[in-house]
Structure 1
Amino acid sequence: MKIGITGTGSYIPSVVTDNDDFLNHEFLGVDGSSFEQENTVIIEKFQAITGIASRRYAKPELKTSDIGFLAAEEAISNAGIDKEELDYIIFAHNFGDLTPGKIQGDTLPSLASRVKHLLRIKNPKCVAYDLIFGCPGWIEGVIQAKAFIQSGLAKKCLVIGGETLSRVIDRHDRDSMIFSDGAGATILEANPSSGEILAHASATYANDEAYYLYFDKTNSSKGCTNTRYIKMQGRKIYEFACINVPKAMAECLDESGVNIDDVKKIFIHQANEKMDEAIIKRFYKIYGKKVPDHIMPMSIHKLGNSSVATVPTLLNLVEKGELPEHKLEKGDVIMFASVGAGMNINAVVYRY
């Protein structure tokens, strides 16, 4: 039974925030101390490492569930299915619905239930639930959807990845420039004409690594002590990802039986350009190979890091021809890979 993606969709927010918009921010260290460098230098170094020149933020009236719904609508239309036939809606996120100016995330009801409500699906047997798995959440949702379909518990599943990280960033933290908003969605089903998931791998490292990404107070002593923001130990994440993600990808590829030379594209979580390049380089090094040209589509330069949304959004952009240098043909073998809070990693080998 071939289980694959039959429809994709995405929502890219309309508010463009360029690096120059951070020039007047007061960046502070974790201890509240000022940096010696001027913001122009900080931003130049940031762009050189991450590749990010701009990012997208959602308008205040749009919450994570709203943009997830918009991506889901496109995916359903793209797949040409009846929404009432959906057996599962899986919404991967990390912070729930966030309202600008408020200090709590909202997950009551779940974002998946909110999307089902917005889609006006009447079928009560369409089960909606949320998945919190860090940035690899959408890929993990795909793996779960495949399991549901393979076991006979489902025929069609909607998997969404969405986030509005702009509402949980500390404007005094240099890392705030990394994060962005967005949503991506896919329909998975057993379909002879669809693509096919050939293999997958997942892992959680939660001993020393569990709190490499965490929630904490602002770096400013003048800020609200009751508000928490997304924080990360960037160097440790970089080192962790470069060691563990290539291994997971190799494990997944070996299980699939596909030769590395037959991999046409790798859709990797858009976390940091230099880190992604290092991961791919180490992955190919395992097989004694050099990285092929144009193997890795990238959207981080203009869209930033929208966490769970990056991989499905990237796939949708390539399918729509919005990254002209990257094209997919039926039968191409591609890979999905991600790393994020938990610390979680995963990978999927997929025949398009």
Structure 2
Amino acid sequence: MPRARIIGTGSALPERILTNHDLERTLDTNDEWITTRTGIKQRRIAAEGQFTSTFAVEASRRALAMAGVDAAELDLIVLGTVTPDFPFPATACIVQHEIGAVRAAAFDLSAACSGFVYGLSIADKYIRMGMARKALVIGAEVLSRVVDWTDRNTCILFGDGAGAAIVAANTDDDNGILSTHIFSNGSFWNTLYQPGCGSRNPAGNDRTIEDRLFFIKMDGNDVFKHAVRGMDEAASAALAANGMSAADISLFIPHQANRRIIDATSKRLGLSEDKVFVNLHNYGNTSAASIPIALDEANRANRIKKGDLVLLDAFGGGFTYGSALMRW
């Protein structure tokens, strides 16, 4: 049975940088308050005329170039996002067209910040079953279009961007994805969500407009508690399934939502700071894009070497959470 292996990564980010000091001009907040509570110093914001597909396409092309793979070789494209270009068609289909992946089945996946790990799990299963040889997994978001820029509790957190990975069948050695583990707990669906613009609260509904339901709503304290527990559970499941401990991990790449969540999760797992990759301060929470952006940065900075054990760990609205353990 082939093992799925990441052979190329890519990422793409808007040029515009919005710092905490910039936010001080429009909100009752300051750099010290934001940094202390979140660890975020700045985030990237999409320009007019840039969409989720804009960054997804660019990240995909970079991943294909690193992998030395032609888009026409792809069998599958899975795109994790909560900010698609349109309700339909899938943004993955737009990416398929733009990069020339003429043979690939393409679809979007909505698992919020866990979207990339969920997508990686699907690609892994397709490859293991022999139903695909090469897959493109993307996490992409333009969250700046769905945050309330008057709400200092949420707008300070989010940013835009995309990350992608080429996943291919590997029969040469034992390197590749060892296991993936995905979970959900729908009891807390309304703790972090966008209440408007769906069938419950349509975009043109007076209530949707008056109550600003098209923006992200979040109970930060509840999210924090469940995020630490969920990420600990998902990471521990990956380690247990492979008979490993935190001491075996070369690099831990968690979802970049909040520095306190990352620190608390790492402490629970017993991981030293030098094994934890963090770029949250530069980009904020990019939801489904956060892990693949971090993975690409770590890869291009040579933080990952062949044979290293890499653990990905995500948590997002839904609640959804999951992990992937791979030997690079």
Distance 2:42 2:194 in 1: 24
Per-residue Cα deviation, 1:287-339 (whole angstroms, up to 9, x for no partner)? xxxx3231111111011111111111111111111xxxx72111011100000
Does 2:11 align with 1:10? yes
The answer for the alignment partner of 1:49 in structure 2 is: 37
* Aligned 8 A contact 1:3 1:194 in 2: no
* Aligned 8 A contact 1:5 1:195 in 2: no
Per-residue Cα deviation, 1:53-111 (whole angstroms, up to 9, x for no partner)? 111011211100111000000111111012111110111100212xxxxxxxx132210
Once the two structures are TM-superposed, the CA of residue 226 in structure 1 deviates from its matched residue by 6.8
**TM-score after normalising by structure 2:** 0.91
**2:310 partner SS:** strand
Q: 1:165 aligns with which of 143, 146, 152?
A: 143
Per-residue Cα deviation, 1:3-32 (whole angstroms, up to 9, x for no partner)? 110110000210000111112324xxxxxx
The answer for the alignment partner of 2:156 in structure 1 is: 177
Amino acid across the alignment from 2:60: A
* Aligned 8 A contact 1:179 1:305 in 2: yes
Task: Provide closer, same or farther for how the CA distance between residues 243 and 226 of structure 1 changes in structure 2, counting only shifts above 3 A.
Answer: closer
The answer for the alignment partner of 1:39 in structure 2 is: 29
Once the two structures are TM-superposed, the CA of residue 229 in structure 1 deviates from its matched residue by 0.3
Distance 2:72 2:32 in 1: 49
Percent of residue pairs identical: 31
Does 2:76 align with 1:84? no
Does 2:282 align with 1:302? yes
**2:79 partner SS:** strand
Amino acid across the alignment from 1:210: W
1:131-146 residue pairs with structure 2 within 5 A? 131-146=109-124
Distance 2:193 2:71 in 1: 36
Between Structure 1 and Structure 2, which shows a larger proportion of helix residues? 2
Q: Bigger shift: 253-262 or 337-346?
A: 253-262
The answer for the alignment partner of 2:56 in structure 1 is: 68
Distance 1:19 1:294 in 2: 26
Amino acid across the alignment from 2:80: A
Computing the radius of gyration from Cα coordinates, the structure with the larger value is: 1
**2:121 partner SS:** helix
* Aligned 8 A contact 1:87 1:154 in 2: yes
Amino acid across the alignment from 2:253: F
Amino acid across the alignment from 1:269: H
1:265-344 residue pairs with structure 2 within 5 A? 265-284=251-270, 291-321=271-301, 327-344=303-320
**2:137 partner SS:** strand
Count of aligned residue pairs for this structure pair: 313
Does 2:159 align with 1:188? no
**TM-score after normalising by structure 1:** 0.85
Once the two structures are TM-superposed, the CA of residue 116 in structure 1 deviates from its matched residue by 0.7
What residue ranges of structure 1 are gaps of 5+ in the alignment?
27-37, 98-105, 218-222, 285-290
Task: Provide closer, same or farther for how the CA distance between residues 194 and 165 of structure 1 changes in structure 2, counting only shifts above 3 A.
Answer: farther
Distance 2:183 2:122 in 1: 14
Once the two structures are TM-superposed, the CA of residue 344 in structure 1 deviates from its matched residue by 0.4
Distance 1:313 1:39 in 2: 27
* Aligned 8 A contact 1:68 1:115 in 2: yes
* Aligned 8 A contact 2:231 2:313 in 1: yes
The answer for the alignment partner of 1:225 in structure 2 is: 210
Root mean square deviation of aligned Cα = 1.7
* Aligned 8 A contact 1:94 1:134 in 2: yes
* Aligned 8 A contact 2:3 2:127 in 1: no
Distance 1:253 1:9 in 2: 26
Distance 1:178 1:56 in 2: 11
Distance 1:332 1:122 in 2: 34
* Aligned 8 A contact 2:34 2:41 in 1: no
Task: Provide closer, same or farther for how the CA distance between residues 23 and 216 of structure 1 changes in structure 2, counting only shifts above 3 A.
Answer: farther
**1:128 partner SS:** strand
- Segments of 4+ moved more than 4 angstroms: none
Does 2:287 align with 1:346? no
**1:178 partner SS:** coil
* Aligned 8 A contact 2:246 2:269 in 1: no
Distance 2:144 2:16 in 1: 11
Distance 1:121 1:251 in 2: 34
